Structure 1
Amino acid sequence: MPITAETDLYAPVKAFLEAQGYDVKAEIHGCDLVAVRGAEPPLIVELKKRFTLDLLLQGVDRLALTDTVYLAVPQPGRKASGASPHDSGVRKLCRRLGVGLLIVDTGRAAGHEVEVLLDPVPYSPRKDRTRTARLLGEHARRRGDPNRGGSTRVPIVTAYRQDALRCARLLAAGPLSLKALRAAGAPKDAAAILQRNVYGWFVRVERGIYVLTEAGFVGLETFRFALPDASM
């Protein structure tokens, strides 16, 4: 039987919990389902026809009542839109918040209609020290604040791009050797920047001598805002 209302989820979830020894009742103080077993803390389930922000917020609110909170949604169809409870990002978010996930599939045999995707347990994510170091390194190396937060579909001015622009500024006046570039204040990794030539701005005309390409002049104009005037 297809699920057309949140109330269609109640009977299978109730049966699932009763099979585990819970005494289950509906609509108590705003909670869709409250289950009690002996002296254990209450178990709360919030029911929705699909996974939504409202459902997640309801679950977070119920954590003020008990640590055992589940969000129950139907098994999403092939053409379902929006976030799916099967998405790793959704499960990770629920795990981080400490709420569980139940999937209800009324097409399954009786007694097997409810699947536990995630149990609510305290979540202590491990910090990724490598990513943190890269984050802080980029913040420290970037000169000024050349980007606008929330930007999309525009090139981001990274510290690497700023260093490439510093090299380009120096080469705009004419060919220079690596030694001359360093003496003029080029970044310490200027050699790697020129050799990798990520943006196509540089060309080597002879051993150790580089010039700025046409693309380099365009880059200087396009990103003229990207370096503080004092940065070279």
Structure 2
Amino acid sequence: MSRGAGAANLALMSKAAETDLYPPVKAWLSAQGYDVKGEVGAADVVAQKGAEMLIVELKLGFSLVLLQQAVARQSLCDAVYVAVPRWRGKAGWKAFKGNIALCKRLGVGVLSVDGEGAVQTHCDPGPFQPRKSPKKRGRLVREFAARAGDPTRGGTNGQVMTSYRQDALACAAHLAGSGPCKGAEVARATGVGRATTIMAADHHGWFVRVARGVYGVTEAGALAAQGNEPDAPTAG
């Protein structure tokens, strides 16, 4: 399908009815050689060019109902699009982009219509092959393996006890009991190989450098090690 038509306009289409989306969508499809008709059977828009047929569902915004309708239309033909008004602003684009990703997974195409009636294709219908991210998967596997126990209940919106935070707490606890130590000594005592890096970075405000390669614990760090942590400046 053509990737765009007419002038680009980032303003949200200020129309009051789904029927207002029909003329620009029909004109756009007609320009590509399709014979277009509205409200054929259960479909908002049906277009045909030779043996090729496609369906477009029109809505004033993304919703579960729209996606359900699009998936239902896939029983009628392989090429199903949804058409909605173009987004407004960065927040609108962020939400729109998320809906594009969802439609790709459903095998549904996405069209947007701007305030001047220009139609743009954001994705075409077709089987979805998710792209795996070895880097992200690697981080997930490493974090799972490194985290001791199961310290954070699933669904938590607040502070998460990551493996980094667990290691930082172990370092703080050792320093609170032993006083200032070299990074290598803390690493040996706690089993935290990255102890020096953690204390030098001091993301939580728990450590203080007292000499070259030697670190102590702050009052906040000592409290955190005892489980009486005040509000931390950053989360780890």
Shift of 1:73: 1.7
3-state SS, counterpart of residue 7 of structure 1? helix
Question: Residue 21 of structure 2 corresponds to which residue in structure 1?
Answer: 9
Q: RCO greater where, 1 or 2, for CA within 8 Å and sep 6 or more?
A: 2
Residue 230 of structure 1 corresponds to none
5+ residue gaps, structure 1: 225-232
- Which residue does 2:10 correspond to in 1? none
**Matching residue of 2:83:** 72
RMSD after superposition? 3.1
Q: Is the 8 A contact 2:87 2:96 kept in 1?
A: no
Matching residue's letter, 2:222: F
Quick one: which amino acid aligns to residue 88 of structure 1? K
TM-score by length of 2: 0.75
Contact 2:54 2:77 in 1 (8 A): yes
Alignment gaps of 5+ in structure 2: 1-12, 230-236
Q: Is the Cα–Cα contact under 8 Å of residues 85 and 91 in structure 1 kept in the other structure? A: no
Match of 1:185 among 187, 190, 199: 190
**Structure ranking higher in helix proportion:** 2
SS of 2:190's partner is coil
* Alignment counterpart, residue 38 of structure 1, candidates 47, 50, 59: 50
Q: Which amino acid aligns with 2:172?
A: A
Summarize deviations over 1:168-214 as a string: whole Å, max 9, x none.
22222231534543443331222222222222212344455433220
| Per-residue Cα deviation, 1:39-84 (whole angstroms, up to 9, x for no partner) | 22x3011011223332223223323332211111234567xx9855
1:36 partner amino acid = Q
Asked if 2 retains the 8 angstrom alpha-carbon contact of 1:52 and 1:83, the reply is no
Q: Is 2:53 the counterpart of 1:54?
A: no
Q: CA deviation at 1:99?
A: 1.8
Preserved CA contact (<8 Å) 1:201 1:216: yes
**Conserved 8 A contact 1:163-1:187:** yes
Amino acid at match of 2:101: K
What is the aligned length? 216
Displacement of 1:89: 3.0
Secondary structure of 1:32 counterpart? strand
SS at match of 1:3: coil
- Equivalent-residue separation in structure 1 for 2:225 and 2:216 (angstroms): 14
Identity fraction in percent: 47
After superposition, what is the alpha-carbon deviation per residue over 1:121-141, rounded to whole angstroms, capped at 9, x for unaligned? Answer: 433232211111011101110
Letter matched to residue 99 of structure 1: V
Contact kept? 1:51, 1:85, Cα under 8 Å: no
1:155 aligns with 2:159: yes
Q: Deviations over 1:143-181 (max 9, x none)?
A: 1121222322x2221111101111122222231534543
TM-aligned CA deviation for residue 100 of structure 1: 1.7
Match of 1:171 among 163, 175, 189: 175
Matched position secondary structure for 2:178: coil
Q: Which moved more, 1:175-184 or 1:64-73?
A: 175-184
**Matching residue of 2:30:** 18
Partner AA of 1:160 in structure 2: Y
Distance 2:39 2:224 in 1: 63
Paired position in structure 2 for 1:228: none
Residues 35, 191 of structure 1: alpha-carbon distance in 2 compared, 3 angstrom cutoff: same
Given candidates 85, 89, 100, the residue that maps to 1:91 is: 100
Match of residue 136 from structure 1: 141
